[in-house]
Amino acid sequence: MAQLAALTQLFLKISDSLSEEEVKSLRAILASEGLGAKRVEDATPHDMFNMLEADKMIGKGNLGFLVQVLRSLKKGKLAEEADQLEQEQRREAQAQAETVAAAALPQTDPMSEAHRTLLLRNYPTIYQELDTTRVLDYLHQQGVLTDGMREDILAIPEDQRHHRTGRLLDKILQSGDDAFPIFCTALRHAGYQHLAQLLTCADHQPRLMPLYQIEQARQLKKKMKDEELKELYSGDLSTTLSELLLTEEMRGLEGGDQLVVRTLVLEQDVTAWRDFFGNGDPQRPDNVQVEQVTSQLASPDTSRQTAELQVRQKGRAGSIRSIASVQSVASTISSGSVLSSDSGYASAGSHITLSEGRKIAAKYKASEEATVSTKTEGMENVDREIRTTKENCEQVEKEIQQHYKQLRAKLKQEEQEMITRVQRVNRDRKGELTQKKKKIQTELGKTKENVTFCKKILDCKDDKEFSTLRQQMEERFQKLSLQETSNRRLESHTKVTFQPCSLSQVSGGSLSVFTIDVQEPAVESLPCSVTVTPDSTVGLTGGDVAPQIEVTSPQGKTTLKRTTAHTSPPLAAGKGQTSRVRRVWGAEWRPQESGKHSLGACMGGKKDLGSLTVDVGSKNHVLRFGQKGTQQGQFNTPIDVTVKGDRLYVADTYNQRVQVFDLSGNFCSSFSTTANPGSLAVQTDGTIVVNSGKEVKKFSPSGELLHKFPLGKYCTHPYGLAVQRDGRVVVADPDKHSIFLFEADGTLVKQVGGQGQGEGQFNEPHFVCVDKEDNIIVADKENNRVQVFDKNLNFKHKFGQEGRQPQDMWAPLGVSADSRGNIVLANIGGTTDGVEQGQKLQVFRPDGTWMATISSDGDKLNLPCGVAVTEDGHVFVTDTGDHCIRKYRYM
């Protein structure tokens, strides 16, 4: 009742918050979603919520539709409250179910002492070997693990695999005796037959293990150094054997051989090791002991074991035989044993006669003389390269000296010319300024005389004295009035400056050691081959250091590309010389933007050893066909597309049909689906599987309906669909935030999901696909990521993040995987500042590493949905907004 009261309180809270306009909007939304205009015409919000409950569109633990409606009305806080209430109700329901399940579990007898002993004895081996996730589902289905136990184990991080295994083994040890055989069966189903054999056939092992372990120890004795053997003779042998597992010899063993020795150490079977090291028989030839081990492994004693274990034993015997056949000559002679039969020498026991010794020595002499000849020729080639490089560099040095000598002479001449010009400017300006100075000096003298005359007049004491100066004054003042006076400042000349040029502008040369070449036109997002070839005068034959290619984008971003060595045709040889092979290095380059890119060769810390400018083109679409309509080759909101062989299948949704084209876009055929097809796939036998009208329908290649099964019992809004090789069908439901796996007849196998951001949780997954291994790949749209599951819907890994960079995702929708495991993803993008953007196609490697973003310049995507890839590196995408199909190249 408490939960019902909480839901009722939420309904009342929503009703109180709605304005009249929002109530009208609510009626319009619910009328279009199935309640009908007549039912909601006069209904209050609370009445409409009760209608939704009655129609099972919402309910306890199922408020997803209510959350969507509230978000449409822009009631974000109320939507969050509804979502929280839904999660609380789900948690409470799950807890109640677990309580009921626990109470319903039958009371079983405790695990027997024999079974407990077997588990504890093999605990370390199972702890190291087992991946718990491969047996959890079976143990859960058989009732060994409850939901809570399973979640408890899965809560341990994936990178702590051993801790998960330890937790599982602890729970099995605490379970009843029935859990032991179920656990053994789970191991077999998951491919761990050898672990199941440890638990079910332990009584056979003592007869098989000791002899093999002694032979293994004998082989290790031959490999190990004397110092290590000395340590084995003293101290705690058990401890020494444990340390032996960490040696280089043990790391190099095959997995099965390593398991044998590991099991020996864990069981502390010290006696077998001590017996050998103390009493081993070095006189006995290798092949005799090997044959004994082989015969033991194939003896009638082992008839009770499974055929699969016998195959493993034969494989081990083969590995023992191969180890015994590759001993070194020095070890063979010093121990008095035979030389390897692969070397062509016969067994001689512990005594080699002079005649036999001469034969052996003759063969070794011939072999070593051939090696001497080869090494001598190699040294001569190196010496020749040293001389050639020296001659080449000396010649280039002379050219550089001559060039810069001429350059210095030219610079010296330019220097003198510039100095002469500056001196001329100085001389000309000095003469001009000197004349102006003389003129000013003359004017200054006259002006000073006038000042003196004016002082005399001012000093006159009477008219008589003034009368003698009057006439002179009238003449001076008349001349002064007529004289043009100038108080202008001296006009300054433009300052002389010198603008030096860059040294790079006058260097006049560069060193080129490598030639860079792009084998095909460089196109944005597509791979192209770049080769680096030594200059013909350099005569490089290679070495340990390979050149690298430094790529600088139009935006100035620099990346380094590593190269791998290839061999070019031999260079022509001079008289008396052998032909020389000039190495060529290559790399794959996938430019991420168009425009001019600079490619430079660098090696050993040196740069500018070669350069090339490449104009990267923008990749336009390859093909576009279709438009809105009902005729052949026309579409009405095509949602999904798939490719099988040389045929392209399109879900022409609102025309309620499937259309078939060739890979050039030419119409071939069509057939009706009687309801809107949302997604489709093609089985290996050519059967066309369609999600249409909440049903999965299977059609023959000619369009005849063969079989169908309903989805409404499990799915609210089935959308994307994929088919595995065995006919099982995978369906995505964005409303339930879940992925469903069905048998070919429609039986539900498994459901994974629930809204959230955790592993195995989704937020509106629309499309799904399967790769060549039947792994299930889901485009988790609103979480902006991709999740990958195995064929049984067990989580494997995830990748992707929201963002606006080329490698980021923005509402991924359609998804497809090619035969190489590469994943192609369609993003529908969104709106930023009123501008639609983010509609793009992306390519990722199987591990989620971003490879490229496919440009659609020239024919922009509008609303990309379903995608399908071809074997020749092209991808088809349905553009629902433009009612057409587009084709791009991505590989």
Name which of 258-272, 615-629, 734-748, 797-811 the model is least confident about.
258-272
Class of domain 623-889: mainly beta
Q: Is the pLDDT of residue 782 over 70?
A: yes
Q: Which two tokens stand for residue 530?
A: 């770049």
Nearest Cα residue to 320 out of 275, 249, 254, 264: 254
Residues 6+ apart with CB under 8 A from 680: 640, 642, 649, 651, 658, 688, 689, 690, 691, 721
d(CA 585, CA 530): 8
Strand, helix or coil for residue 704:
coil
Give the per-residue pLDDT at 509: 52
Per-residue model confidence (pLDDT) at position 106: 52
Sign of CA dihedral 850, 855, 861, 866: negative
Assign a CATH topology to domain 510-569+579-616.
Immunoglobulin-like (2.60.40)
For the chain, what is the mean pLDDT? 76
- When pLDDT is cut at 50, 70 and 90, the band that residue 102 belongs to is low
Give the span between the Cα atoms of 722 and 717, in whole angstroms: 16
Q: What is the mean pLDDT of residues 707-731?
A: 94
Quick one: CA torsion of 309, 313, 316, 321, rounded to 10 degrees?
-160
Average of per-residue pLDDT across 838-850: 89
**pLDDT value at position 511?**
55
pLDDT for 273: 45
Lowest mean pLDDT among 12-21, 243-252, 429-438: 243-252
Per DSSP, 501 falls in state P
Q: Where are the domains of the chain?
A: 2-104, 113-200, 202-329, 359-479, 510-569+579-616, 623-889
Strand partners, 682: 688
Per-residue pLDDT, 847: 93
Assess whether pLDDT exceeds 50 at residue 338.
no
What amino acid occupies position 141?
A: Q
Residue-by-residue DSSP string for 293-328: HHHHHTSGGGTTS-HHHHHHHHHHHHHHHHHHT---
Mean pLDDT for the stretch of residues 832-838:
68
The pLDDT of 373-397, averaged and rounded, is 87
pLDDT at 103: 60
Question: Using one digit for the tens of pLDDT, what is the confidence trace for 126-137?
Answer: 887 899 989 998
Q: Which of 109, 167, 91 is nearest to 135 (CA)?
A: 167
Name the more confident of 559 and 492.
559
Task: Give the helix/strand (H/E) hosting 692.
Answer: strand 688-692
- For the chain, what is the radius of gyration of the CA atoms? 45
- Supply φ then ψ for residue 532, to 5 degrees: -125, 120
**From CA 273, how far away is CA 261, in angstroms rounded?**
11
Q: Is the pLDDT of residue 650 over 80?
A: yes
Q: How confident is the model at residue 320 (pLDDT cuts 50, 70, 90)?
A: very low
Mean pLDDT of 405-413: 86
What residue type is assigned to position 675 of the chain?
Answer: A
Q: Are 866 and 641 in contact (CB under 8 A)?
A: yes
What lies within 8 Å, CB to CB, of 143 at 6+ separation is 105
d(CA 531, CA 129): 45
Residue pair 723/729 in contact (Cβ under 8 Å)? The answer is yes
- For residue 104, what pLDDT is reported? 56
Question: Above pLDDT 70, what percent of the chain?
Answer: 73
Window from 280-289, 528-537, 817-826 with minimum mean pLDDT: 280-289
Between 109 and 441, where is the model more confident?
Answer: 441
Q: Are 510 and 600 in contact (CB under 8 A)?
A: no
Say yes or no to pLDDT of 441 above 90.
no
**Strands of the 748-753 sheet, one edge to the other:** 721-723, 729-733, 738-742, 748-753
pLDDT confidence of residue 119: 85
Q: In whole angstroms, what is the distance from residue 205 CA to residue 737 CA?
A: 50
| Low-confidence winner among 108-117, 254-263, 766-775 (lowest mean pLDDT) | 254-263
For residue 506, how many other CB atoms are within 10 A of its CB? 12
Asked whether the predicted pLDDT for residue 237 surpasses 50, the reply is no
Q: Which of 99-108, 353-362, 568-577 has the lowest mean pLDDT?
A: 568-577
* Residues 6 or more apart whose Cβ sits within 8 Å of residue 756: 737, 762, 763
Q: Would you say 127 and 266 are in contact if contact means Cβ atoms under 8 Å apart?
A: no
Stretch 467-487: mean pLDDT: 67
Can you tell me whether residue 294 is helix, strand or coil? helix
Look up tokens 């980021």; give the residue.
808
614 Ramachandran zone, left/alpha/beta (phi>0; psi -120 to 50)? beta
Judge contact between 821 and 772, C-beta under 8 A. yes
* Strand, helix or coil for residue 456: helix
Per-residue pLDDT at 665: 93
User: What mean pLDDT is predicted for residues 419-424?
Assistant: 83
Per-residue CA distances from 755 to 254, 515, 656, 760 (Å): 45, 56, 31, 9
């991420």: which residue's tokens? 592
Give the integer Cα–Cα distance in Å for 672 and 656.
6
With the C-alpha atoms ordered 854, 857, 858, 862, is the resulting torsion angle positive or negative?
Answer: positive
Please identify which residue in the block is written with the tokens 């799950």. Answer: 94
Cβ-in-10-Å burial (0-12, 13-18, 19+) of 482 comes to exposed
The structure tokens listed for 149 are: 């136990």
Strands 595-602 and 830-832: unpaired
Please indicate whether residue 99 or residue 192 has the higher confidence score (pLDDT). 192
Count of all residues that appear for the chain in the document: 891
Residue 280 has pLDDT above 50, yes or no: no
- Cα–Cα distance for residue pair 229/241, rounded to 1 Å: 11
- Which pair of structure tokens corresponds to residue 279? 């009493």
| Rounded mean pLDDT, 855-866 | 77
CA–CA separation, 585 vs 587, rounded Å?
Answer: 7
C-alpha span between 372 and 686 (Å, rounded): 64
What pLDDT shows up at residue 254?
Answer: 42
Phi-psi region of 608 (alpha: psi -120 to 50; beta: other; left: phi over 0): left
248: pLDDT strictly greater than 70: no
**CA dist list (Å): 745 to 702, 707, 751:** 21, 9, 16
Rounded Cα gap, residues 615 and 550, in angstroms:
15
- The larger pLDDT score, comparing residue 9 to residue 545, is at 9
How far apart (Å, rounded) are the C-alpha atoms in residues 857 and 867?
A: 18
Answer whether residue 339 shows pLDDT above 80.
no
Does 316 score more than 80 pLDDT?
no
Its pTM stands at 0.43
CATH entry, 2-104, from 1.10.533.10, 1.20.120.420, 3.20.20.80, 3.30.200.20: 1.10.533.10
Contacts of 153 (CB under 8 A, 6+ apart): 132, 136, 145, 164, 167, 168, 171
The SS3 of residue 678 is strand
Query: Is the pLDDT reported for residue 341 higher than 60?
Result: no
Q: Is the pLDDT of residue 310 over 80?
A: no
Lowest mean pLDDT among 64-78, 283-297, 381-395: 283-297
CA 505 to chain CA centroid, nearest Å: 44
User: How many other C-beta atoms are found inside a 10 Å radius of the C-beta of residue 311?
Assistant: 10
Q: What is the pLDDT of residues 354-380, one digit of tens each?
A: 777 777 777 777 878 888 888 888 888
Is the confidence at residue 426, as pLDDT, over 50? yes
Q: How far apart are the first and last CA of the chain?
A: 60
The alpha carbon dihedral of 260, 174, 136, 156 has a sign of: negative
Q: Same CATH topology for 2-104 and 113-200?
A: yes
Helices and strands (DSSP H and E) totals, the chain = 25, 34
Q: How many CA atoms lie within 13 A of 621 on its CB side?
A: 19
The domain made up of 113-200 has a fold known as: Death Domain, Fas (1.10.533)
